[in-house]
Amino acid sequence: MFRPNGMILYKTEAEVALMQQSALLVSKTLTEVAKVLKAGMTTLQIDKLCADFLQDHHAIPSFKNYHGYPHNICASVNDVVVHGFPNDTPLKEGDIVSIDFGLILNGWHGDHAYTFILGEVDESVLNLVRITKESLYKGIEKAITGNRIGDIGFAIQEHTEKKNGYGVVRELVGHGLGKKLHEDPQVPNYGKRGNGPVLKQNLVIAIEPMINMGTKDVFTDKDGWTVKTKDGMPSVHFEHDVCVKKGKALILSDFSIIEAAEKANVNLNSSYY
Ligand code: MF3
Ligand code: CO
């Protein structure tokens, strides 16, 4: 669905600094979500909270109307992998909820996602969430100059599929990020070491593992957007905005503020880390 034009754009230092502001504002928005999220809330309430938060920050939500997407956030609950529509069904204890949010600030996109756990869940769900988050960081470790796109996907696939038997979604991938939400290159969560485009200084990419507890196979709902697991088992999604650098990638978004709010919220389960 997302077909960039084959040209990879590299950012200047000044542009990376601006993109860090964009990514950080997404993190701050997700932190506001982490403060209040609990069973009984609806994902439409979260959608409104995110849009309202931006109004005071001179930024605009980027997902709404993107290829016709009808909401500000993607709220993907349990067996929904990504692109779930917010709705008026109250969330319940034991749900896992990925909130994916994007915005434009000063002309530059931020786009990232975090999966929250509402209350008590099975140990197997805690493991899936932990391993998926770990896999994101293993992918990020490979986002350094001289490596290739395939090195990122290989690291994510190793940790999730090979080591833990989870399903790595093939149909959806991470992406370049900049003045557009989806730029080249595509960033799969699977792949072969040493394959794909070479990573160069100041390439900004969104790395976003979508990891299923069961089969990797997914289908798109009749609404044309909602992607679900074929076997109905849960799926987890974390996304960071990352700038390729020499030796060590620069993570533009920030989970630490989200995690602090998550830990302080008694209605959220963060016992996996
Ligand atoms: N992080 C998601 C992605 O990169 C967000 C896109 S939702 C859309 O695919 F509605 F904007 F498409
Ligand atoms: Co994305």
CATH label of the domain that carries residue 215: 3.90.230.10
Q: CB within 8 A of 3, min separation 6: which ones? A: none
Ligand 2 center from residue 48 Cα (angstroms)? 20
3, part of any domain = no
Report the number of distinct structural domains present in the chain: 1
Q: Which ligand ends up closest to the CA of 74?
A: 1
Is the pTM here over 0.95, yes or no? yes
* Ligand 1 pocket test, candidate residues 82, 112, 180, most atoms within 8 A of CB: 82
Expressed as residue numbers, the domain containing 166 is: 13-264
Query: Which of ligand 1's atoms lies nearest the C-alpha of 181?
Result: 4
Q: Which residues line ligand 1 (CB under 6 A)?
A: 63, 66, 69, 74, 83, 100, 102, 111, 113, 175, 206, 208, 239
* Ligand 1 pocket test, candidate residues 26, 63, 169, most atoms within 8 A of CB: 63
Ligand 1 center from residue 83 Cα (angstroms)? 7
For the stretch 221-271, pLDDT in tens is 999 999 999 999 999 999 999 999 999 999 999 999 999 999 999 999 999
* Ligand 1 pocket test, candidate residues 76, 100, 173, most atoms within 8 A of CB: 100
Q: CB within 8 A of 101, min separation 6: which ones? A: 26, 29, 30, 50, 61, 63, 72, 73, 74, 111, 112, 113
> For residue 5, what pLDDT is reported?
74
Query: Which of ligand 1's atoms lies nearest the C-alpha of 63?
Result: 11
CA–CA dist 187, 205 (Å, integer): 8
259, part of any domain = yes
Half-sphere exposure of 143 (CA within 13 A, CB side): 31
Buried b (16+ CB within 10 A) or exposed e, 154-179: bbbbbbbbeebebbbbeebbbbbbbe
271, part of any domain = no
90, part of any domain = yes
> For residue 56, what pLDDT is reported?
83
What residues of the chain score a pLDDT lower than 70?
A: 1-4
> For residue 3, what pLDDT is reported?
60
5, part of any domain = no
4, part of any domain = no
CA–CA dist 122, 103 (Å, integer): 34
